[in-house]
A and B are shown apart, each in its own frame.
Chain A
Amino acid sequence: MNKGLVIALVLVVSAALGSLLRPHQFLSPGPLIQGHAKLDQDCLACHRPFEGPGKCENCHKPEDFLKKPVAKAEFHHKLGPKTCISCHTDHGVRHVSHFSHNLLDSKTNQDCSGCHKAPTDKNHIGVKESCSACHGQGAFKPASFEHGKWFHFDKNHKAKCITCHQGEDYTSYTCFGCHAHGMGEIRGEHAEEGILDLRDCVGCHPSGKEYDAKMRRSRPVKDNGIQGPVRQYDRAEALAGMSALPGQAGTAVDSAGGQGVQESGGRSEHEGKGEHGSEHHSEHGDDEEEEDDD
């Protein structure tokens, strides 16, 4: 008999016997999760021959889900007629391997916070819009926040986040984190135009260019207690698709100057914590700024 055929026969018979006697080694796609580890060598505890895995309910009673926290119970009850293995896999590392939000009904699908803990970092303060405005359902990151609604990055402004948003606070920005925008350099030129408020650069220069100013006068600044070049802004407004920034022509000139800018951790010490929204039409100047600082 051909020696090659003998070797082939030995290999094939070994594989057949191995698959029958030690299926967890020859056939299993991976070790079971910790909770099911004791079933590692008992494939038929979960698998029905020629039907697949589907004996979950033998151990996990559906009514047990009612004992779970409400959100979790509701989540599972609203999945419809799908089986456990539509989402869960027991072999390998990840227990939930192929969950799709499409399995949920539309109402549950839109209630992100029903299952996910809402982020509380500074980047999300004041955001009232749906998570889907920035985030996809595939993964939390990357998010698709349209920065261009607030400030368009041109070739001269390929800056790192921290250059403008200092202290990891994305609710405020400063243009004076960059060497090109010294307040002393621009004060004179703006004063000629009657612009004394130097806190909200983007209000007139949405692309950071000198000549893209929509108006030659500064718009009123929301009374958020900010003194100096750092201004709080409302991201929710941006997300709502606000194409024009608040405060346009015909508004009073705010004269809260930026003199006395002191960089502390990249931010002005004049920064306050006031609420957004109420308009600030004060005419105070540098002196008043000093007072506020106190």
Chain B
Amino acid sequence: MITVISATKRPACLFTMGPKLFSRSVLPFSGAFLALILATVLIDWFLHSQGLAYWGRWAGPLGVLVLALSFGYSARKRKFLFTGSLPGWLRLHEYLSWIGALLIMVHSGIHLHAWLPWAATLAMLAATASGLMGKYLLKTARDKMKAAKTKLAAQGLTDVEIENQLLSDSLTLKALANWRKGHMPVTYTFFFLALFHVVSICFFWM
């Protein structure tokens, strides 16, 4: 988070940022992640208290299904899909990823033995945190572009000149590109570890 903020023109850190930035950016990011953990604990507690812990097993396949649906955004972005707007798919990706991660977390429970499922779970948590950070970066980029556009328009520049100016403002775009370099490997790691886990389940318990 500190790195992201320092990538802006006016460096800031968690201690110097204004309350507005904190409430609009940091809080939603960390809040969504904490809500994920809290919801997992609550659902897990509920299932155990009702003697329904066994249901957690079925949360796994359901979570995989939801996560698979969330990757419709990637398919749309790479033009494997042609329906729906890209921002709409992005929003769906954000929501479904959170829900899918929740179901997988409930499925995982706290059963510390097999290494592979836990590695997959940790990779998924890393991917979720990374995704939430990307959401924050995207929001920051949009806000910056909007502010810059307004400023340039006030200076009397034409739309074409404004577009050219904004393209040269590469700091924000660079931050997003750097983020993708981290997010995609983490996501791939999660994908393959989860795949191994599913294959092992089919191999031993099908």
Q: A residues near B, CB below 8 A?
A: 2-5, 7-8, 11-12, 15-16, 18-19, 23, 25-31, 43, 47, 49-53, 98, 138
Contacts and interface: CB of A to CB of B under 8 A. Distances in A.
B184 A4 contact: yes
Given A8-B186, A49-B203, A51-B206, 17 more contacts: A2-B181, A3-B181, A4-B186, A12-B192, A15-B116, A15-B196, A18-B115, A19-B116, A23-B200, A28-B113, A29-B113, A47-B203, A47-B204, A47-B205, A50-B203, A50-B206, A98-B54
A7 B190 CA distance: 12
Interface residues on B, range: 20 to 34
A32 to B, nearest CB: 12
A97 to B, nearest CB: 9
6 contacts: A12-B193, A15-B116, A15-B119, A15-B196, A29-B114, A30-B111
Contacts of A53: 204-205
A19 B202 CA distance: 14
B182 interface: yes
Contacts of B203: 47, 49-50
A103 to B, nearest CB: 16
A53 B203 CA distance: 10
A179 B174 CA distance: 82
Contacts of A49: 203-204
The 5 closest A-B pairs by CB, nearest first: A4-B185, A8-B185, A8-B189, A12-B192, A26-B116
Interface in B73-132: 111, 113-116, 119, 123
Contacts of A52: 204-206
Contact of A2 (B185, B202, B205): B185
Contact of B204 (A2, A12, A30, A43): A43
B115 A4 contact: no
A26 B114 contact: yes
A29 B200 CA distance: 11
A27 B200 contact: yes
Contact of B116 (A3, A18, A98, A138): A18
A16 B196 contact: yes
A27 B113 CA distance: 8
A235 to B, nearest CB: 29
B115 A25 contact: yes
Interface of B: 51, 54, 111, 113-116, 119, 123, 181-182, 184-186, 188-189, 192-193, 196, 200, 202-206
B186 A30 contact: no
Nearest to A52: B205
A249 to B, nearest CB: 48
A27 to B, nearest CB: 5
Contacts of B186: 4, 8
Contacts of A27: 114, 116, 200, 204
Q: Among A8, A30, A31, A43, which residue has the most Cβ atoms of chain B within 10 A?
A: A8
B176 to A, nearest CB: 15
Given A4-B181, A52-B204, A26 B188 contact: no
Given A4-B184, A8-B189, A26 B115 contact: yes
Contacts of A16: 196
Contacts of A8: 185-186, 188-189
Nearest to A5: B185
Contacts of B205: 47, 52-53
Contact of A15 (B54, B184, B193, B206): B193
Contacts of B184: 4-5
A166 to B, nearest CB: 34
Contacts of A18: 115-116
Contacts of A31: 113
B120 to A, nearest CB: 8
A235 B123 CA distance: 60
Nearest to A98: B54
Nearest to B204: A47
B187 to A, nearest CB: 9
A11 B204 contact: no
Contacts of B111: 29-30
A31 B188 CA distance: 30
Contact of A30 (B51, B113, B188, B192): B113
Nearest to A6: B185
A131 to B, nearest CB: 20
A257 B193 CA distance: 80
B185 A7 contact: yes
A7 to B, nearest CB: 6
Contacts of B113: 28-31
